[in-house]
Amino acid sequence: DFLPPYSYREADYENTRIGPRWPDHIFGTDKLGRDVFSRVWWGTRVSLTVAVVGSLTALVIGVTYGAISGYLGGRIDNLMMRFVDVMYGFPTLLFIILIMVVLPSETAIQGMINIFIAIGVVGWMGMARLVRGQFLSLREKEFVLAARMVGAGPARIISRHLLPNSLGPAIVSLTLGIPSLILTEAVLSFIGLGVPPPYPSWGQMVSEGWRGLRATPHLTVFPGLAISLTMLAFNFLGDGLRDALDPTMRGTALVRAARRKKRRARRAARRAAAKAA
């Protein structure tokens, strides 16, 4: 049973700072006797919710902005992209920290909503550029020109022709961006600007445990391991989606698979020839 056996705030003052111990505290306990495994599990909600919802917020804003800019083109496109360039001039992490300092966060829900807002404000720019580039390359294609010839309006062309053909790269970019958002949330929690205690998050747990790293390494190692493994998993997921949705990458993957198949066939033929000899 890998569900959290304890509440994230349940304390056992007789067993504080103990190392991993089976079966009651498999990740050990912290300075208040709270079960580290349970807190890592509860912290998963914060980190994954922030990463996924923050990415979806950036996706909605970026796709909308990039679609308008790419479809209209001309001076409007130039003006909108100059605004993106100005936004890129601000350091992303410092901008997020500024937003988090300004917005109040007295509860865990408020803290997560503030992180959603901060990520949405600064995370849409790369998505907007990507979608804008897709729209610029697609709007002069034959199927779009044919739709214009039969009287299709801008809304129909965008929703039926341009947007579906642009979502593949956008979804891949969204998935590959989730690990960086997990790390951003961990950094904000580490410096005390994330979800307020006692609700746990991985970055907050690393912040609480790093000062006693030599004496109680489990307080830092297990939350850090959760961050690393989750980032690695989403990177693998993004690579897989890129291979599946990107035609150029899909062709490369098929070529590699064909080469592996040929190598296996040659090895099998050599083994058969050796047995026959």
Q: Which helix (H) or strand (E) holds 223?
A: helix 218-245
pLDDT tens digits for 225-252? 999 999 899 888 888 887 776 655 555 5
- Show me where the domains of the chain are located: 37-245
Mean pLDDT in the chain? Answer: 85
pLDDT band at 257 (very low <50, low <70, confident <90, very high): low
Q: Identify the residue with better confidence: 104 or 230.
A: 230
SS3 25: strand
What pTM was computed for the model? 0.76
**Cα–Cα distance, 213 to 113 (Å, whole number):** 31
- CATH superfamily placement of domain 37-245: MetI-like (1.10.3720.10)
Can you spell out the DSSP letters for 63-124? Answer: HHHHHHHHHH-HHHHHHHHHHHHHHHTS-HHHHHHHHHHHS---SHHHHHHHHHHHHHHHHS
8 A C-beta contact, residue 182 and residue 227: yes
Residue 119 has pLDDT above 70, yes or no: yes
